[in-house]
Chains A and B, each alone.
Chain A
Amino acid sequence: MFNIVSLIFKYIFIIIIYLFILSIIRLIYLDIKGIDTKALNNASYLKLVNRKDTLPFKVKEYYPLDKEVYLGRGKDNQIVIRDPYISKRHLKIVEDEGNYYLEDLGSANGTYINEERILDVVKLKNGDRIRVGQIEFLYVGRE
């Protein structure tokens, strides 16, 4: 009995190991493709914390920040994310004298920084975690 099971399992094991390797290679490949490093050179940016492949909608790994950036579901935003839990125009991030400030634009589900719902304009610090809808960003600030 054991012999037969073992005989069948040896093929299953090999298949699983190779699927595993394949899936890791695929993830690494997606990773490399997703990084557009040129745009990030000296700017501050948002980095996606979630695993990209677990989300049912399109999202980039990195979003460089500009003078004024809007994030939302609508097409007229600079950062467009089609997450149903994100409002049409969800939040904005503005730069002032080298610092970045985040403001929730009255979204339905709110914006959280380090797991705290924000009500007012907040100054972003390097390493802050910004959560909107189903996704989470890491704020990487540079002067």
Chain B
Amino acid sequence: MFNKMVSYKYPRNLLMLFELLALFLLFIYSKDNLNKFTFIYGIGLILIVYVSNFLLLRISTGDTYIFLIVTMLISIGLIMIYRIDPLLGIKQILWIGMGIFIFFLTYLVFKNIKGWEEWTYFYGIGSIILFIITLLFGSRIRGAINWISIGGLSIQPSEIIKLLTIFLIASYYTRYEHFKKQKYGSYYLIATTYLFILFLFLQRDLGTVLILYTLFIALQFIYEENRRLILYNLLFSIVSGFLGYLLFPHVRIRFETWLNPWKYIDNKGYQITQSLFAIAEGGFFGTGLGLGHPDFIPEVHTDFIFSAICEEMGIFTGMGIIMLFLILVYRGFKIGINQKIKFYRIVAIGISILFGIQSFIIFGGVLKMIPLTGITIPFVSYGGSSMLSSFIALGILQVASEELDFEEAKDG
């Protein structure tokens, strides 16, 4: 009987069951300072997620899995954030609600407005303006300048810049013939990308440098006709990485703490070793929600949420999250391959790479598999900017998963 109800044929129902159980558990967890709003918010979110998954089947003829996967990721992340700090949990619920709204909004806007591939210059110049604003008005948090606050609201422009970069690259390669005709046209993109990377270096935002660089190299690998450029780029990245190591102490610190964090356990290696303790403590099944000590890790709700999940929900849940991301990336690529219009194809693949590489960098970082750079896990970490921009990306991916009008294909 129970088996039928949660039959694995209906992931939507499984997700709902998961959320209800989690809500129940968190309910007893914080029974001392119960708040009826918490309960209302929780139930509200579960309904929104369920209805959204249902609604999406009706309005979109495209992919039905990506939104489902993402809502699962969000649920796991939210449970952990609420457990660490109920106040942040409630805020996160609001961000998620807003994110889902933005998702549908993006979906409608992208479906109905055409000609996105024409705005190459806008994407480039827009990004540069955002970079300059960040440098001028940004505040330095944990060594990197990547936040600006407008009227009490902190936003992270680099989240938008990532998407703009994908659009820039996509529109460049869509209009590749057009640019090739111009003098030095084939170097426009490279020059802009390196300008972006220079800006990010000035902001000391190493995580985003890594993401943008991988994104750029991967898309260039697929679409660049001048294969030699790719080789130059790779060589250049190795040289600049080496130079960065020599010239910038903050790059060097990342490497040193990666190679042997135990040596610097008192200071620079503190975060990563605390993260390793948490993961080691969790074991395969975790300590159980509320029974571990993820609060020992600094920045646990953003960069180190994965370590907290591993501690309390186990390595198996950690692996589950990695697998969910893997399926998400796989679906994204599948959407790209099936998409007939070149611009949307590139955008779909760009977004999939973005999700994949961003999550890989931070998973690998907190595990000490690769040097740690502070970035968020899309959909899982706490944070408004990250949540909204990820949902915008997902909305675009949803549009790209549909069969779009054919007239455009001929132009593209």
Contact = CB atoms under 8 A, between A and B. Distances in A.
Whether A and B touch (Cβ < 8 Å) is answered with yes
Interface of A: 1-3, 5-7, 9-14, 16-28, 47, 49, 51, 53, 126, 138, 140, 142
B14 interface: yes
Contacts of B331: 28
Nearest to B288: A6
Interface in B261-295: 285-291
A24 B67 CA distance: 12
B124 interface: no
Contact of B403 (A10, A16, A53, A140): A140
Contacts of A14: 285, 313-314, 316-317, 320
Contact of B22 (A11, A13, A26, A27): A13
A96 B375 CA distance: 58
Contacts of A17: 18, 72, 76, 316-317, 320
Interface of B: 6, 8-11, 14-15, 17-18, 21-22, 25, 28-29, 31, 57, 61, 64-65, 68-69, 72, 76, 285-291, 312-314, 316-317, 320, 323-324, 327, 330-331, 403, 405-406
A24 B64 CA distance: 10
The secondary structure that dominates the B interface is helix
A20 B288 contact: no
Given A20-B72, A21-B324, A13 B403 contact: no
Contact of B11 (A3, A12, A20, A142): A20
A10 B291 CA distance: 11
B18 A23 contact: no
B286 A24 contact: no
A23 B327 contact: no
Given A23-B10, A140-B403, A142-B406, A2 B290 contact: yes
B290 A23 contact: no
Most buried by B among A17, A19, A28: A17
Contacts of B8: 19-20, 22-23, 26
B291 A21 contact: no
Contacts of A26: 8-9
Contacts of B11: 20, 23-24, 27
Given A24-B68, A53-B9, A6 B285 contact: no
Contacts of B323: 21
A59 to B, nearest CB: 16
Contact of A5 (B25, B72, B313): B25
A64 to B, nearest CB: 15
A42 to B, nearest CB: 12
> 3 closest A-B pairs (Cβ-Cβ)?
A6-B288, A23-B8, A17-B320
B285 A10 contact: yes
Contacts of B289: 6, 9-10
A11 B11 CA distance: 18
A31 B300 CA distance: 38
A7 B21 contact: no
Contact of B18 (A13, A25, A53): A13
A19 B327 CA distance: 14
Contact of B288 (A9, A23, A140, A142): A9
